[in-house]
Structure 1
């Protein structure tokens, strides 16, 4: 059946691009199209609604502005995943962050290297030149979309049994929280442009905005681990809750 270009809602005419926008939005909000769903290509929508591609593009552009869909290079438009909210001063397991969004979680160990600490390793961990370290790179996935790139160093002088851990079966952060006590942590937060390596892994355009959380944890005897968590900038919001130090405003 064909579609007319204007219909009546509450006695007010609605342009076709607004109708398309409303129809797509309704399917997203109702859960018919959950996060990660690819919506029909523009040419499919032009056929369905018997309209120009410009009309469809206008409708989809409005949905992008509202944060309901995202356009990915070479693969079309997808229902956007909701942003994850993280407390700045907490150490979260990434699996919990993803499942809190109602999405399936998975991760892949991309690289594992054991070595004597390099100059960069020593700076990141704040350790001496004779230490051994384990370098791990992992990708955390929410639904079907890359969620976070994890680049982690573990000080094997403090956590020697990490050398035998199977980090292809359990995420390094989860393993450390379960196995290794820590007494203090430091967060450093930066907005960065994705380099080619991060862009390829996170399925982003090079120089796309990303949020990087660099965290170092240590115990009474030394530095335990340092991790860089790189998130696509449109998926992550940091939240800090605090109370006044005194009675003043």
Structure 2
């Protein structure tokens, strides 16, 4: 018997290859915390019996998980779950709804535009996909009460998240929808203080050139880019706070 329960892939109802299914099952258990750091996963032989496949297929999955830093393979012990760096990242992936609620205001959002189209050359390079691969291009305005709080401009790789091609995001904004549907394994933040351009000034109801805080975030699921988003906040009404402890290195 395999140690721990396995859960189905939430990303898509499309049929998965056996390799993808095993990878998704184990990945989900690790990234959701269902299998905590130190948890010993089933042996390759047990997994092969569980899924009715060759041990070589399982070995490829385990190798991929180890390269992604999700597990560590130990001789005579087996594979154990590693602590995930995302859990201790200085900049976490926050839900904008919670940011607004923390100010005491009522949250709401409005979808300004949403299109499904082929990626252009620049977008393909950004997402690490082939040119003309399908993406969802969505622009969303978040409100704190009646005031614009954040302008969200997002690209979603539909090869990684097929369901995003038909989702309207009217009930749930793109950020939390993705967090609920796609387990991400790595993220990168880039932060800049800029002057508001025409688009930002118009939607955020601020003068052209006003200070804005821009957070550009990209997330991956293993080697596949999931989404790239540009979040623009009015500078005078937003601060970026991170709490951390001294490094244990050395």
Structure 2 residue aligned with 1:102, among 104, 112, 116? 104
Instruction: Determine if the alignment matches structure 1 residue 121 to structure 2 residue 126.
Output: no
Aligned length: 162
Residues 88 and 195 of structure 1: CA distance in aligned 2, closer, same or farther (over 3 Å): farther
TM-score by length of 1: 0.62
TM-align CA RMSD: 1.6
Distance 2:238 2:156 in 1: 25
Instruction: Report what 1:173 is aligned to.
Output: 175
Q: How far did 1:240 drift?
A: 2.2
Instruction: Report what 1:237 is aligned to.
Output: 239
Distance 1:168 1:201 in 2: 18
Instruction: Report what 2:203 is aligned to.
Output: 201
**Structure 2 unmatched ranges of 5 or more:** 1-88
Distance 1:230 1:136 in 2: 14
Distance 2:194 2:173 in 1: 24
Distance 2:94 2:242 in 1: 14
**Structure 1 unmatched ranges of 5 or more:** 1-86
Distance 2:142 2:154 in 1: 13
Instruction: Report what 1:151 is aligned to.
Output: 153
SS at match of 2:240: strand
Runs of 4+ in 1 over 6 A off after TM superposition: none
SS at match of 2:236: coil
Residues 209 and 88 of structure 1: CA distance in aligned 2, closer, same or farther (over 3 Å): farther
Instruction: Report what 1:228 is aligned to.
Output: 230
